[in-house]
Amino acid sequence: MAERNFYVTTPIYYVNDKPHIGHAYTTLLADVIARYRRQSGMPTFFLTGTDEHGQKVHQAARKNQRSPQQQADATVVRFQQAWEKLEITNDDFIRTTEERHKTVVRDILRNLYDRDEIYRAEYDGWYDVSSETFITPKDLPEGVDPESLPHISRIRETNYFFRMGKYQDWLVNYIEQNPAFIQPDFRRNETLGFLRKQLNDLCISRPKSRLPWGIELPFDADYVCYVWFDALVNYISTIGYLRDDERFKTWWPVDFHLIGKDILTTHTVYWPTMLKAMDVPMPRTIFAHGWWLMGDRKMSKSEGNVVNPMDMADRYGVDAVRYFLMAEMTPGQDATFTQEAFVKRYNADLANDLGNLLSRVHKMLCKHFDGCYPEPTPELLAQDAERNLWRTLRTAVDAVPPAIANMRPDSALFEILTAVRAVNRYLEIKQPWTLAKQNERQALGDTLYTAAECLRVCAALLQPVMPQKMRDLLQALGLPDKHQEQAAFKQWAVLQPSAALGSPVSLFPRAEKPKPAEAPQQKADPTDQDKNQDKINVITYDDFMKVELRTAEILAAERIKDANKLLCLQIRIGAEERQLVAGIAQHYAPDDLPGKKIVVVANLTPAKIRGVKSQGMLLAASHGDTLRLVTIDGDLPNGSRIK
C-alpha cells in the first residue's frame, strides 16, 4: 500500500468548547485511520487543531476579563490534554492564532484582493448573530420572518466579499464528475441540492467596530477576516502553502477532510471555491460523519447533554472508549450514546470474547507448558479445524485495509471480532481442558499454539484502535513490537517453540452494569414506559445486534442416519467452512441444496444434534406444512453481515 502519501484532517474545534464525545469521535476516527495507514507503511500526516478567532472567544474573554489571546491560551489545553490522554497521534496541532497560520491567511487575502476575487461593497441585509453569518430569507424555513427571530438582526454595513457565486456552475460540475469528492453519497446530493439555489458571494470581513478579534485584512485595517474563511485555510497553512512548496506538494491534495455533517456547506461549498480561486487542487474526499445523539437530540454544549470522554476513559480505560466509539458508529449515520450500550459492548466484545480468550490461553500455556510455546505438529494447517480457523483469520486480515480505505472502521472491527469469536469456538470444539485431563500433550500443544498465533494476529489488527491494550496483549504473548510488522499478519508460526510468554495481564476486567442514576444526562421519557408495557415481546436494537446473521452458501448436503427430519449441511461463510444440522429433510432433497445462498446465525454456540456436530443455524420460514429457506435478494459476497 506504500505507493503514496496520506493526509487526513479533523475540523479545528472552537477553542472555548470543552471536548466531548462528538469532538473526540472525529479526532479518533482520524487517528485510527492514520494509524492503519502508518501500519501499512504509508507516510502519513494527521492534522488537528483549534479555531480561535470569532465572536465567541471574544465574548468569553470579556466575561473573564482577559484578552482573547489569553482566553484561547487558557482553553486550548483542554483539547491538547484530551488528545494526549486518548493517545491521539496527530503530527501537528494548529492554532489559528499562530503566526505561521495568520501570515498565510493574509497572503491569500491580499492575493485574492489584488486579482479582484475579493471586492468591497455595501451590505444591507440580515445577520445571524449566533452563527456569525449573513443570511437571506431563503436560508430560513419557508414563511419564517427574519425579523421575528431574536438572533437575527438587520444590518447595513460596508464589507468585503469573495466572488463565490461565479464558481457555482464549475462546482456543480466538479461534484458531479467526481463522485469520491463528497462522501457519503447522500451528502453529495445534499450539497448539490444546496447548489440548486443561487450561490451568493461570501462576505469575508467583519468591521472591527463590531468584532475586533480576528486576522486583520491586509488591505483594510478597519476589518478582520470572517472566522470561517480564516479557519478553513488551516488545512493548507500548516503544511507549507506559500511557504514551503515541496512540503506542500508532499501532502496536498488531502486524502480526507473528516467533518461532522453540521459543517458540510462550509467544507463542500466555501472551501472548494476558495481553493479554486487560489488555483489549488481540490481535496480528494470530504467525508461527513453523523452525529452522536443522546436520545434523539444532538449531543452538544447548547443542549446540555454532553458526555465527557475523559470521564468515560477514567472509568473504563482509554482503549475501551476508543473501541466503543469506532465499533458503534457507522460513519455517515448517526449513532446513539448510552452508558448501557457502552457497558454491554465492553463486556461482550472486550471482557468476554477477547480478554477471556487471552487469559484462558495464557493460563493453560503456563500450567501445561511452563509458560513456553510448545512445538506444534509440522503441517498443522493441513488439519481441517486449524486450516479453517486460519482462513477466517486471513479473511479478517484481508478485510481490514478496504474497510479502512472506505471509512468503515466499524466493519473492520466487526471482521476482527468475528475472527476472535472463531478462535473461541475453535477452543470450545477442541476442548483443551479435556485434552489436558486425558494427557494428550501434542493435541493440547497444537490447540494452544494455534489459539496464541491467532491472538497475535488479532492484536496486530486491533492495535490502531486499542494501542495500549494490544501492547499489553502482545507483551503477555512474549512478543516484542517488531513482530507486528505487516508481513507477519499473514504469516503462520511466528511464535517460536520454547520461547517464553510474558507475564499475565487482565486486559478488560468486567464492568458493572451502570445503575440508572449513573447513566449520564439521559432524560427518560415517562410515556415510553407506558407505551412499552404491553409489548412483552420487544427486544432492543442491541439485543438484535448480538445475533450475527450472515449469508452463506451450501456446498453439500446429506441425510443423517435414523433422523428423518435432519440434513447435515456443509456450508461456506466467507472463507470459513462449517457443518450444520438443519431440520429441513422433509422439505428439501439433499441434491437440491448445493449452491443455494442462505442466511445463517453464525455465532450460535456449537452443539451436537443426534451426535452430529452443528456450528450454527440456518433461517427458514414455515407456514402450516410448508417450509422455505430464507435467501437474499441479489448478489452479495458470501459471508456478508445481515443487519
Rule CB under 6 A: is residue 262 a binding residue for ligand MSP? yes
User: Contacting ligand MSP (CB under 6 A), which of 76, 88, 105, 259?
Assistant: 259
Tell me which H or E stretch contains 118.
strand 118-128
Tell me if residue 552 falls in helix, strand or coil: strand
Q: Which one, of 124, 108, 210, lies nearest residue 162 by Cα?
A: 108
Contact string 36-75 vs ligand MSP (x = CB under 6 A): ---------------x------------------------
Q: Which residues contact 286 (CB under 8 A, 6 or more apart)?
A: 181, 182, 183, 256, 257, 259, 267, 268, 271
Name residues contacting ligand MSP, limited to 370-389 (CB under 6 A): none
Length of the chain: 643
Which of these segments, 32-40, 57-65, 297-305, 569-577, binds ligand MSP (CB under 6 A)? 297-305
Is the Cβ of residue 57 or residue 566 nearer to ligand MSP in the bound state? 57
CB of 11 to ligand MSP, least distance (A): 4
Q: Find out whether 610 and 566 touch, Cβ atoms under 8 Å.
A: yes
Rule CB under 6 A: is residue 300 a binding residue for ligand MSP? yes
Q: Find out whether 301 and 345 touch, Cβ atoms under 8 Å.
A: no
Is the Cβ of residue 13 or residue 324 nearer to ligand MSP in the bound state? 13
Report the distance separating Cα 532 and Cα 541, nearest Å: 14
Report the distance separating Cα 250 and Cα 248, nearest Å: 5
Is the Cβ of residue 300 or residue 352 nearer to ligand MSP in the bound state? 300
CB of 152 to ligand MSP, least distance (A): 20
Tell me if residue 44 falls in helix, strand or coil: strand
β-bridge partners, 207: 223
Q: Is the dihedral of CA 336, 337, 341, 346 positive or negative?
A: positive
Tell me if residue 287 falls in helix, strand or coil: strand
CB of 300 to ligand MSP, least distance (A): 6
Rule CB under 6 A: is residue 445 a binding residue for ligand MSP? no
Rule CB under 6 A: is residue 298 a binding residue for ligand MSP? yes
User: Contacting ligand MSP (CB under 6 A), which of 184, 214, 260, 272?
Assistant: 260
Report the distance separating Cα 373 and Cα 451, nearest Å: 11
Contact string 220-249 vs ligand MSP (x = CB under 6 A): -----------xx-----------------
Rule CB under 6 A: is residue 407 a binding residue for ligand MSP? no
Q: Which residue is nearest to ligand MSP (CB)?
A: 22
Q: Find out whether 46 and 27 touch, Cβ atoms under 8 Å.
A: no
CB of 423 to ligand MSP, least distance (A): 33
Total Cβ atoms within 10 A of residue 608 = 9
Which of these segments, 259-267, 320-328, 359-367, 559-567, binds ligand MSP (CB under 6 A)? 259-267
Name residues contacting ligand MSP, limited to 1-30 (CB under 6 A): 11-14, 17, 22-23, 25-26
User: Contacting ligand MSP (CB under 6 A), which of 28, 263, 313, 417?
Assistant: 263
Give the count of residues interacting with ligand MSP (CB under 6 A).
21
Is it true that the peptide bond before 184 is cis, omega within 30 degrees of 0?
Answer: yes
Q: Which one, of 12, 200, 156, 38, lies nearest residue 92 by Cα?
A: 12
CB of 504 to ligand MSP, least distance (A): 38
Q: Find out whether 603 and 545 touch, Cβ atoms under 8 Å.
A: no
Report the distance separating Cα 496 and Cα 540, nearest Å: 46
Positions touching ligand MSP (CB under 6 A) are 11-14, 17, 22-23, 25-26, 51, 231-232, 259-260, 262-263, 291-292, 298-300
